[in-house]
Chain A
Amino acid sequence: MKLKIRPFYHSLFSLIILLGILPQNCFSSACCGGGLVSTFLITGDDKAQLNSVYSYNRADFDIDQNGYWRERNYDESLESLRFEAAHIIFDRWQAGISLPFIRRTRGNKTSSGVGDLSTTLGYEYLPDWNYNPFRPKGIAYLNLIIPTGTSLQEADQIFLLDANGRGFWTLGVGTLLTKGWGIWDAFVDLGIHRSFPREFQNSQTQVSLTPGWGENLAIGGGINFSSLRLGFSMTWINEDQIASSGSVNTNGSKQQYTSLDFPLTYFISDEWMTVIKYSDKGIIGNPRNISLDKGVAFQIQRKWPR
C-alpha cells in the first residue's frame, strides 16, 4: 500500500501554523522577565514576518532547589509585550530579532522596562520534501541574547520589580524540525546554550556571577480544522547553577521545569493570523528552583510570502 501524499499547500499550511506553537514565549517567568531561550524563525515559505505577543503570567508556587513547593500568599504578575521580526537574508538563511517590554506588578507597585534582546540566525539545512512522509524540514539556528534588561542582581526597587532580564550574554545553538501530514503537524526544537560570566553591582553587593550551560527540548503538534488549529507542546528546560563570588560566595542551584502550552490559532487570511495560548509550568515534570507560573498569551502575526 502506498502512503498518501498530501498536496503541497497542505504541508505548507501546517508549517505556517507551527509558528503559533513554537516555544517563543513560554520561557518568561513571574520572577523576572528574562527568558532562557528565545528564537523566532520563519518556518513557512515566507520572506518576512512580524509578530507581536502580549502575555500575562502569574505564579502561585515557588519551588526551591530541593523541590519543595511554597505557596505564594501575594499577587504578583508579569505582563510582556514582545515584538519580533524575521526576514530571509539569502536563499536558505534568515535573521530574526525579538525585544520584549516587561511590566511587573505586585500589590499596588508596578515597574516596567525593556527586557533582554534576542537575535537569531537560521539556516534551512533540510528542505521539506512534501512527497516524503517522514523527512522533516530542518532549520539550524544560532541565538544570541543580549542582556538589555535589568537583571535580578542589578535590581534595586522594592520587590525587585525592576528586574526585567536575566542579565547574561547567552549564545545558543539548536535545531528546529517541522513536519506536516495533512491536518496534522508536529515539531521538535532541541537546543543548548551557554551563558557567560559577568560582574554585577548594586547599592548592596558587588558579585561576579558565573552561569553555565542550559538545554531545552520542545515537542509539539496540532490538528487543523478549516481556519482553526488546536495545538499542544511540551518544553523541558534545564539550566546550570550560577556560581557567585565577591560579596557573596555560593555555588547556586540548578533550575529545571517543564512547560505545557495549549495554543489555539485562527487564520484571518493568508497574511494574518492570531493565536491565543495557555501555558502552565505546574502540570508535569519535576521543577526545581523556579517559580511555577501560568499564563495566557495573545499573539498577532503578519507575514509576507516569497
Chain B
Amino acid sequence: MDALLFGKKIMLFRILTILFITAGCIRPKYAPREEVNPSVEIKSCPYKLNSGKCVSLDWEVQPTEEDFGQFLIKIWRPNLADETEVLEEIKEDVTLFLWMPSMNHGSSPVTVKKIDVGTYRVNDVFFTMPGEWDIHVQLKINNEIKDQTILPFTF
C-alpha cells in the first residue's frame, strides 16, 4: 500500500514537472534602449494633418516616470521655394490627448496654450506607464473634429 501511495506522489510530481516545462520559464525580452528614448526625431514635415498641413513636435522638458514633460507643437506648411517651415494661423481650437493604443486607454489631461502663430505649448505631459503611446493632435470647432493627426511616441 505504501508503494502505491509513493507511486501516486511520483505521478503528481511528474504532472507538475510537465506543466512547468509546458508553460516554460519566463524569458525576458528587454526593450532596446533606443525604443525607450523619449524623443521624436524631427524631419521635414514629419507628421501631416488630414488637410496636408505639417505638424512637428519639439520637447522642451522631457517627461519622466515621476515628472511632467512639456513640448511645443508647430503647425505649418512647407515653403514653396525651399520647403522650410511657414507657420500657419489656425482658426480651430487645437487640442491634444495621449493614448496607449495597445491597451486602449489614455493618460491624465494635458494643457495646450497658444504661444505664437501656429505654435502651441503643451504642458502637463505625463505617460502613466512605459510603452508605445500615440499623441493625438486634433483641430476642433465647437467640439467637432475638423482635422487631426497622430504622433507615435515610445516612452
Say if the beta carbon of A199 comes within 8 Å of chain B: no
Q: How many angstroms between the C-alpha atoms of A153 and B108 in the bound complex? A: 10
Contact B109 A203 (CB under 8 A): yes
Contact of A242 (CB < 8 Å), options: B30, B97, B104, B107: B104
Q: Which residue of A lies closest to B31 (CB)?
A: A68
0/1 interface trace, chain B 53-91, chain A, CB 8 Å (1 if under): 000000000000110000000000000000000000000
Contact of B12 (CB < 8 Å), options: A107, A153, A184, A243: A184
Contact of B130 (CB < 8 Å), options: A70, A159, A209, A221: A70
Q: How many residues of B contact A (CB 8 A)?
A: 44
CB distance from B5 to the nearest CB of A (A): 7
Say if the beta carbon of A156 comes within 8 Å of chain B: yes
Contact A284 B24 (CB under 8 A): yes
Say if the beta carbon of A248 comes within 8 Å of chain B: yes
For B134, what are the chain A residues with a Cβ–Cβ distance below 8 Å? 248, 250
Say if the beta carbon of A132 comes within 8 Å of chain B: no
Contact A70 B31 (CB under 8 A): yes
Q: How many angstroms between the C-alpha atoms of A163 and B103 in the bound complex? A: 13
CB distance from A239 to the nearest CB of B (A): 11
Contact A253 B102 (CB under 8 A): yes
Kindly identify, within residues 131 to 187 of chain A, every residue whose CB is under 8 Å from any CB belonging to chain B.
152-153, 155-160, 163, 181-182, 184, 186
For A234, what are the chain B residues with a Cβ–Cβ distance below 8 Å? 19, 23
Q: Enumerate chain A interface residues (CB-CB to B < 8 A).
A: 1, 3-4, 31, 61-62, 64-65, 67-74, 107, 152-153, 155-160, 163, 181-182, 184, 186, 202-205, 207, 209, 219, 221, 232, 234, 236, 242-244, 247-248, 250, 252-253, 258, 282-287, 289, 291
Contact of B8 (CB < 8 Å), options: A72, A181, A248: A181
For A232, what are the chain B residues with a Cβ–Cβ distance below 8 Å? 16
21 contacting pairs across A/B (C-beta < 8 A): A31-B129, A62-B131, A64-B131, A68-B30, A68-B31, A69-B28, A72-B129, A153-B106, A159-B126, A160-B105, A163-B105, A209-B104, A248-B104, A248-B136, A250-B99, A250-B104, A253-B102, A284-B23, A286-B24, A287-B26, A289-B103
